[in-house]
Amino acid sequence: MLKILYSVLLGIVLAFFVGLGIEAFYPTEKYPEYPIELQYKTAPSSGDQQIQKEYDAKIKDYQGRNSKHALKVSIVAIISSIVFLFLSLIVFAKNDVFSNGFLIASLLLIIYGVARGFENNNPKIRFILVTASLLFALVLGYLKFGRKEKGTV
């Protein structure tokens, strides 16, 4: 039971390590703040309309930058997931505790990568991410659980 808990803890900590590392070295830009001049007004003036247009332009610009940022974060998370999968299946193959911990981290990172990829505004990119995740899950399942062990029928 302790080995299972350790594997789960290791997987979660590794996933947080990668996610927080991405955010530390490639931080997400903050959403533009709504102008104070417009926050408590009930009837907008012509000057307020100009401030609103400027704010709307900032939002549109932010969304474009955030979409590109999310795609890059998604790619880094998915690459990290693949590295952890390799470590799980090849490097730590004989140590079930570490192998399972890295496998859990790999699964969590693929979920994180796809979730961040959904922040991208391009539906084709979203589809590609989900397709890659499906293939990843199928290969992972086959490599970890689908192969027959020697001497079994």
132 in any annotated domain: yes
When pLDDT is cut at 50, 70 and 90, the band that residue 6 belongs to is very high
pLDDT, tens digit, for every residue of 70-94?
Answer: 999 999 999 999 899 889 988 888 8
Kindly report the three-state secondary structure assignment for every residue of the chain.
CHHHHHHHHHHHHHHHHHHHHHHHHCCCCCCCCCCHHHHCCCCCCHHHHHHHHHHHHHHHHHHHHHHHHHHHHHHHHHHHHHHHHHHHHHHCCCCHHHHHHHHHHHHHHHHHHHHHHCCCCCHHHHHHHHHHHHHHHHHHHHHHHHCCCCCCC
* Mean pLDDT along residues 28-35: 90
Q: Tell me whether residue 10 is in a domain.
A: yes
User: What is the separation of C-alpha 152 from the centre of its chain, rounded to a whole number of angstroms?
Assistant: 38
Is 38 part of any domain?
no
Tell me the CB-side half-sphere exposure of residue 141, using CA atoms within 13 A: 6
Structural Rg of the chain based on CA atoms: 22
Residue type, 56: D
Confidence label for 10 from pLDDT (cuts 50, 70 and 90)? very high
* Domains held by the chain: number: 1
Measured in whole angstroms, how far is the alpha carbon of residue 87 from the centre of its chain?
A: 19
State the pLDDT at residue 97. 93
Domain that holds residue 137: 2-27+49-144
Is the pLDDT at 31 greater than 50? The verdict is yes
* Structure confidence at residue 147 (pLDDT): 65
- 86 domain residue, yes or no: yes
For residue 149, being part of any structural domain is answered with: no
Q: Each residue of 92-144: pLDDT tens digit?
A: 888 889 999 999 999 999 999 999 988 887 889 889 888 988 888 888 778 87
pLDDT value, residue 153: 46
* 150 domain residue, yes or no: no
Domain annotation covers residue 39: no
Report if residue 6 sits inside a domain.
yes
Please check whether residue 84 is in contact with residue 111, taking contact to mean a CB–CB distance below 8 angstroms: no
pLDDT digits (tens, 9 = 90+) for 137-153: 888 778 877 765 555 54
What percentage of the chain reaches a pLDDT higher than 90? Answer: 51
Q: How confident is the model at residue 43 (pLDDT cuts 50, 70, 90)?
A: low
Examine the pLDDT at 25 and tell me if it is beyond 80. Answer: yes
